[in-house]
Structure 1
Amino acid sequence: MLTAVVWSSEKAIILGLGVYNGLFYKRGDGTNWDSDWTPLGGTFTYPPVAISWGPDRIDILGIGINGNLYTKYYDSGQWSGVWESLGGFCSSPPAVASWGIGRYDVFVIGPGGHMYHKAYRGAEGQRWDAEWYNLSGIFSSPPAVVSWGQDRIDMFGLGTNNTMYHRAWLGDRWSPTWDNIGGVFRGSPVVTSWASDRLDVFALGSDYALWHKAWLGSTWSDWKSLGGIFESEPFAILSDFNRIEVLAIGTDDHLWHNSLIASTWGDWDKLGGSFNSAPVAVSMSAKVLDVFGLGLDNAMYHHTWSGDTWAETSSWDRLGGVFATHL
């Protein structure tokens, strides 16, 4: 698994784990990318995640080989020093969401299969919470989280029965229990939000098809199969207001793409390539995607999707490197 984030006006960073589980990155604007991969050090058991909560700021979080969560940040042109340990004994990759400048929230699965939470409160001058908060539940998947606005976070995870569960931070308290929202899945949940009171949740079903469910403001929709047969986790991203792009690797190793525009799904488009990792993407402008994946040679590849067609060329750009694969 890779991670990518937009961190300034039309600037993105893509990060991946090398074959010895150290972290490397490249920066670019969609057309021009750093010529070399830059090491950030560390040794991680899961691919780290990245988030940007303000201009020229990137925060990276990853699970070290001792199970602790570690963080490093980029601020106004330079990286922080050594990786800072945030403690914990984590058994899943982290999931992260931000609802404002100087604020983000991290979730992991920890001892007992429970979900745990810790917040960075830089805007309040408090930095990190001193302790991890146990949100209970027993989960078989990593968490998925999203924020649709100020003081709101929604979390999802698969229980030991592979059914989806949901809980939320409501501004001044956690919702009282984990709600069972149904389904039976083989893959971890993915969630996006394009407006207040709107959530779109995705996961691979036991039939290897992609399934979708939406929170519509006062009620959940039914689970709906979007079809396809996939071997990777899906990746979902907003490319415009009320437009969601979904990407996944099919059993043919090609990248496949679909779009939800308002309430209408399109057909699956084969975007080509041959990949052995789940894709990631960033959107630096409306209806434009920069898509990344690891090829069969474990190198990083990149392409740009613009509205309804590939931009400029039909070939994938090879960004090089040699990376660990996580389908």
Structure 2
Amino acid sequence: MRREKVWRRAAMVCALVVSSVAVATPARASSWSPWVGRGGSLISNPAVTSWEPGRLDVFARGLDTTGKDTNRLAHRVFTDGRWQRWKDLGVLPGDWLTGGPAAVSWGSGRIDLFVTADNGRLGHKWFSNGTWKQWQDLGGAITGTPAVVSWGPGKLDVFARSAGARLVRLRFADGTWQPWQDLGSLAGLSAPSAVSWGPGRTDLFAVNTATRRIWQRTYSGGWSGWSDRGGDFPSGVGAVSWGPGRIDLFGKTLNRDLGHAWFSNGTWKSWQNLGGGEQGLNMTPGAASWAQNRIDVFGVDDNGLLLHKTWS
């Protein structure tokens, strides 16, 4: 009789354990966070890149400690679950900056940063082996903010709008910079943004300045023509990919909200409005992804504050 009672109690315990395992907590659906302020006193669009999960590097033109000098680059890092303080990366020697920066990483511990000087030349600064290298003059005759992609270690493509309204590209491969290449007219279009989801694939986006609609041009074995992707944006867009076959576009709407469209399963989804925070957006947004189904989007408001929103 005593042994029978023990067996019954053991059976009840096992039933409780099985029941508790069977009722698992459902996975949380991905969603957009609210806007969060990340500080700063910025006067350009932000550029953002990530070299590994949990790491973000954000760059923008900013004011110095006196609040007067605009010829400086500000840098802030997110790592180990927290934001570090803003750092001053200094100025492009001898030349004032125009537009905003562009940034990309081709692997752990590597960042390449690009700016346009007021003489139209492309400036390049890179982070490698734990230190920032000196500015490098890459020449050119460009205007506005450049765009950059990397499709693998040691591979860079920089795109820009030339002073003659042409789309130009500067490529780094096999350890050397190749000559500037003309890829056709950009008449009526803004400076491009660019994204690559892997080797042999690059997508460019620009705003038609007359209609404010987004236009796309793709390289996949050869360059396509420009295609209309809709929207209504007074300035350029930011683009990001978390893997092959996926592109997310972000732009500042006429109402200063964040507009979002994405390409998935071979089709473009409709534009959606993600809001603009209390002040609204004042600059073209930037975005990065450190893993599938994770996006970090950044904007700047009227007070120069960096704004941050995540999809996860």
Fold match by TM threshold 0.5: yes
Shift of 1:118: 1.4
Structure 2 CA distance for partners of 1:38 and 1:137, relative to 1, 3 Å: closer
Q: Give the 3-state SS of the residue equivalent to 2:142 in structure 1.
A: coil
Structure 2 CA distance for partners of 1:153 and 1:185, relative to 1, 3 Å: farther
RMSD over aligned Cα, in angstroms? 3.7
Question: How far apart, in 2, do the equivalents of 1:292 and 1:80 lie?
Answer: 16
Q: Which runs of 5+ in 1 are unaligned?
A: 1-28, 307-327
Structure 2 CA distance for partners of 1:177 and 1:265, relative to 1, 3 Å: same
2:240 equivalent to 1:212:
no
The equivalent residue for 1:237 is 240
The equivalent residue for 2:7 is none
Q: Give the 3-state SS of the residue equivalent to 2:139 in structure 1.
A: coil
Aligned length: 268
Structure 2 CA distance for partners of 1:281 and 1:80, relative to 1, 3 Å: closer
Q: Which letter does structure 1 place at the counterpart of 2:271?
A: D
Q: Which letter does structure 2 place at the counterpart of 1:162?
A: A
Structure 2 CA distance for partners of 1:240 and 1:173, relative to 1, 3 Å: closer
The equivalent residue for 2:177 is 174
The equivalent residue for 1:134 is 137
2:99 equivalent to 1:92:
yes
Percent of aligned pairs with the same amino acid = 26
Question: How far apart, in 2, do the equivalents of 1:71 and 1:272 lie?
Answer: 25
Give CA deviations for 1:192-229 in whole Å, capped at 9, x if unaligned: 00111210000002332211111113x21112222343
Shift of 1:96: 0.8
Question: How far apart, in 2, do the equivalents of 1:100 and 1:202 lie?
Answer: 24
Shift of 1:134: 1.6
Q: Which has the higher helix share?
A: 2
Maintained 8 Å contact 2:55/2:290: no
The equivalent residue for 1:269 is 271
Q: Give the 3-state SS of the residue equivalent to 2:144 in structure 1.
A: coil
Give CA deviations for 1:7-39 in whole Å, capped at 9, x if unaligned: xxxxxxxxxxxxxxxxxxxxxx967779x8454
Maintained 8 Å contact 1:49/1:60: yes
Maintained 8 Å contact 2:121/2:138: yes
Question: How far apart, in 2, do the equivalents of 1:79 and 1:104 lie?
Answer: 18
Structure 2 CA distance for partners of 1:38 and 1:91, relative to 1, 3 Å: closer
Maintained 8 Å contact 2:233/2:251: yes
Select which of 112, 115, 128 maps to 1:105: 112
Maintained 8 Å contact 1:235/1:280: yes
